[in-house]
Every structure is written in C-alpha cells, then in structure tokens.
Amino acid sequence: MSKIYSKINGTGSYLPDKILTNYDLEKLVDTTHEWIYERTGIVQRHIASDNESSVDMAYSSSLEALKKSNISVDQIDMIVVATTTPERKFPSSAVLLQNKLKIEKGFAFDVNAACTGFVYAIDIADKYIKSGLVKNALVVGTEKITSLLDWKDRNTCVLFGDGAGTVVLSASDQAGILSNTIGSNGSYKDLLTVNTDPEYIEMKGNDVFKIAVNTMGKLAVSTLKENNMNIDQVDWLIPHQANSRIINAIAKKISLPNDKVIMTVDKHGNTSAASIPLALDDANKRGVLRSNHIIMFEAFGAGFTWGSTLLKF
Ligand code: UT7
C-alpha cells in the first residue's frame, strides 16, 4: 500500500466588515498611529459585530475553503477548530460549525493553544489522516479576540483583531505536511493571560516579545535541520502575525529574505489562532503560492505554547 500523506486541498478566510484604524484608536486611548505602526507594523484590524460569533466567521471561511477544494460537506469526517473565543462554553465551536454545515457524521472538537492553536490543530488532523482514519478534515482558526479587550488599556487594545481561516486537509499520495513540532511550558502562564471578571487580556508585552523571538527563531532552525533542508529550499515563511518586528527577527535568524515572508499583521492585527490560516489564504488569493512550494508555519502564544509546520503546498 502506498504511503498516505495529508495535503492542503483548499483555503478560505473571513474578515468582518468593520475596520478600525490606528487613527480611530487615537480617539479611544492615549496612543498614536506612529507608535502602533513603528512598534507593531499594524495599520488596521477588523472587528466582528455584536451579533457575529467566532462560529459564524468559521462557517464563512469554511464554505469558501470547501468551494476551493472541490470537497463537499458530506466528505468531511473531522473538524478541528482552534479558538480561544468559542461561541459557547459547550457544545464546542467545532460541533456548532458541524451543525451549521449540516454535517451529521464524523467528529468535531476544539483546540485551545492560544495563538498557536492552528498549528496544534494541523498537527492533530495530520496524524488522523496519516493513520488512515480520516480522509478529509476541516482545520479552522477563528477568533473574536476583541471580545476579550479592555478598550481603555492601550497596552493591549491596539494589538488585536477578529477573523477566521480554514484549510481543507485531505489524504493524498503526494507529499503535503512534511513535519510538525508542538510544545508548551506553563511556567510562563502569567505573562500573557485572560483575567476573570472582567475577562480582559493582560500581557507583559516586552517579556513576551523576547521569548517569542527566541522560541520561534530556534524552532525555525531546528525544523529545517530535522527535515535536512537548507533555507534556499523554503519558498514561504507564514508566521503567527503578532508584530512585524518579531516576524522580521525570525526571518533574519534563518537568513530568509523578507520577500519570502507572508506579512498580514498590517491589515489584520493579531488575530490569535486565526492569524496563520488568514495569512495563508491571503497569499493564496494573491496567487503567490504555487503547487509544491515549501511553506513553513511558525507560531507562538499564551502558555507559552509554540509550534512549527513544514509542508509542500
Ligand atoms: O500573540 C501572542 C504573542 N504576543 C506577542 O508576541 C506580542 C509581543 N509583544 C509585543 O509585540 C510588544 O512588546 C508590544 C507591541 C506589545 C509593545 O512594544 P514594546 O516595544 O515592547 O513596548 P513596551 O511594552 O516596552 O512599552 C514602551 C512604552 C511604555 O511607556 P514607558 O513605560 O516607556 O513610558 C508604554 O507605556 O510604550 C508605552 N505604550 C504605548 N504608547 C503609546 C504601550 N502601549 C502604547 C500605545 N501607545 N498603544
């Protein structure tokens, strides 16, 4: 029997209509467009409306990914949704999405690994597909992360945005996902967290920044080494989009030219678990990703959690 690979079959994304620019934020908190842009690379972010949930966004991005992949809903046997902002505590967002898509078979569950969630979700779906148990999986990152913001806290409210991205991952006899590495260390739990009552994001930005650069930099180097690849073989780095300075530092660490880095933080802000699938779909829609291109995902988030994926598109 030939080896089973899992391969990206189609991508989709959704961004809410409402756009909040840095200039809009100047009216809310003591900040400036210049400060936000120079420190983060962010220019604008999308904000979900009151009646729009992370599941609604996941539904829109999933319909698009299904359409692009020529896979029908009844061929989906697994749904993994990476989110930290589920519509309900339970049922999971994945089950709510399954229901919206009118799927009544297979299984669906959520993954919470904060901003690394999508890479965790890919890792899990990849293993199910390679084991032969699943043929087609919907892998989603979706966040209404602005629902966790204190709009009076300039340290956090300027950084985040909402959105969703979906990938249809399918069994294939052609190489797709080449490797995944995921990790976590809860001793950093208080550097980036959501407080209770009220539920607001709190972050020691500077500490997170340094550890993010270090961790993703090392991870990118070890991913290449484990796959016996040199940097010239990598076509695209699609990192978690939290801060352009973090992204540039990772690219520098692996000597990857900036024109091989997908950067969407300027348009989307930090959309947590949605950031990598949103950036992937953005690049795909721009037509820059070719079949067999080598793509590297690098992610880092609260926990801390981290993850790296190397794949053939
Ligand atoms: O997604 C998961 C992972 N998350 C991340 O990777 C985020 C990592 N952290 C960062 O991206 C950066 O640390 C930030 C963008 C959050 C902050 O940038 P920084 O260069 O680390 O600035 P800082 O926290 O050291 O703050 C510098 C100054 C402070 O003033 P003082 O104490 O030096 O007088 C802040 O109060 O900037 C001030 N400041 C602001 N000023 C204008 C903080 N936020 C703002 C703001 N506008 N919005």
Condensed to tens digits (0 to 9), the pLDDT of residues 245-300 reads: 999 999 999 999 999 999 999 999 999 999 999 999 999 999 999 999 999 999 99
Pocket test for ligand 1, best of 24, 30, 34, 39 (most atoms within 8 A of CB): 39
CA angle 254, 255, 260 (to 5 degrees): 95
Provide the 3-class DSSP secondary structure of residue 80.
strand
Class of domain 5-172: alpha beta
Q: Check residue 1 and give its pLDDT.
A: 58
Q: Check residue 2 and give its pLDDT.
A: 80
The rounded percent of the chain whose pLDDT value lies above 70 is 100
The 10s digit of each residue's pLDDT in 175-234 is 999 999 999 999 999 999 999 999 999 999 999 999 999 999 999 999 999 999 999 999
CB 216 within 8 A of CB 250: yes
Please indicate whether residue 240 is annotated as part of the active site. yes
CA–CA gap between residue 130 and residue 135 (Å, rounded): 9
Question: What residues flank ligand 1, with Cβ below 6 Å?
Answer: 31, 35-36, 39-40, 115, 154-155, 158, 205-206, 208-209, 212, 242-243, 246, 270, 300-301
CB 148 within 8 A of CB 201: yes
User: Residue with structure tokens 């989009």?
Assistant: 241
The closest alpha carbon to 137, from 62, 239, 34, belongs to 62
Quick one: residue 114, left, alpha or beta (phi over 0 = left, psi -120 to 50 = alpha)? left
Q: For the chain, what is the largest distance between any 2 Cα atoms, rounded to a whole number of angstroms?
A: 63
- Mean of all residue pLDDT scores within the chain: 97
Listed in sequence order, the residues at least 6 apart from 136 whose beta carbon sits closer than 8 Å to its beta carbon are: 9, 71, 75, 76, 77, 78, 168, 169, 170, 171
Domain with CATH 3.40.47.10 in the chain: 5-172, 177-312
Does domain 177-312 fall under CATH 3.40.47.10? My reply is yes
The first and second tokens of residue 216, run together, are 């993703």
CA–CA gap between residue 142 and residue 53 (Å, rounded): 9
